[in-house]
Amino acid sequence: MSNTGAPQGTVLSPFLFTTYTADFQYHSETCHLQKYSDDTVIVGCVENGQEDEYRDLVESFVRWSRENLLQLNVTKTKGMVVDFRKSKSPPSPVCISGKDVEIV
């Protein structure tokens, strides 16, 4: 049990999350961070195996969350890969706090 944060399920919680996380923003031609209610999505377009920007953004968000005492729930975090190539190789999973993010 935690005595910090906003209570889950209240009307005020999404507003507080949006306000609290407003200073972390990212948008480029191939990656961006999207926040909705109390969820965060990192979208990256990876071409020719160049995942550096995407993985750096994930790492930056994890570091920012830790520095701002925002706890990420890694078990609820999922990765989704949409791959249009003919020959597909499975991507290596993103690792957060020593745990691999499940690819769905």
pLDDT in tens, 81-101: 888 877 777 788 899 999 999
**How many other C-beta atoms can be found within 10 angstroms of the C-beta atom of residue 96?**
17
| Banded pLDDT at 53 (limits 50, 70, 90) | very high
pLDDT over threshold 60, residue 1: no
Whether 54 maps to a domain, the answer reads yes
Determine the structural domain holding residue 54 and report its residue range.
12-103
Whether 4 maps to a domain, the answer reads no
Whether 80 maps to a domain, the answer reads yes
Residue linked to tokens 């969350």 = 65
Whether 20 maps to a domain, the answer reads yes
**How many other C-beta atoms can be found within 10 angstroms of the C-beta atom of residue 42?**
17
**How many other C-beta atoms can be found within 10 angstroms of the C-beta atom of residue 5?**
13
Q: What is the DSSP letter of 84?
A: -
| Banded pLDDT at 5 (limits 50, 70, 90) | low
Give the Cα separation of 58 and 100 in Å (integer). 13
Please give the pLDDT value at position 2: 57
Whether 7 maps to a domain, the answer reads no
